[in-house]
Amino acid sequence: MVYESYLFSGHWVNRKSHPQIEHILSQKKNTKTDQQLEAAAVNNKFDETFVQIIQSSLTTYRTAVKKAFDTTKNKTEKQFLASSYNGTGILINEKLL
């Protein structure tokens, strides 16, 4: 049997082991993003719009990671957060910690 897996809260889950995954994911759906991408596809600007949306989302995520990094005292958490911050920085071409 083939089923989809998702990365959720840092853990791989699948429909079989986590039946409520569809409900959880549907709550995170952003209809504004869907509308932007649909309009971009019609206007032959899908790639450009997709990159803008992803870069904006990654920048927002990276800001949250940096804030968590700056406030935590736990060495293990700092290492994990630094890795996330730096990895995101590579994706958006920003400087690393």
Answer yes or no: is 65 within a domain.
yes
On whether residue 49 sits in a domain, the answer given is: yes
Q: Is 7 left (phi over 0), alpha (psi -120 to 50) or beta?
A: beta
Q: Which domain holds residue 63?
A: 45-97
- Please give the DSSP secondary-structure letter assigned to residue 16: T
Predicted confidence at residue 38, as pLDDT, reads: 93
CA distance 78 to 71: 9
pTM comes to 0.67
What is the pLDDT at residue 93? 86
Look at residue 22 and tell me if it is in a domain.
Answer: no
- The number of distinct structural domains making up the chain is 1
All residue ranges of the chain with pLDDT < 50 are 1-8, 10-11
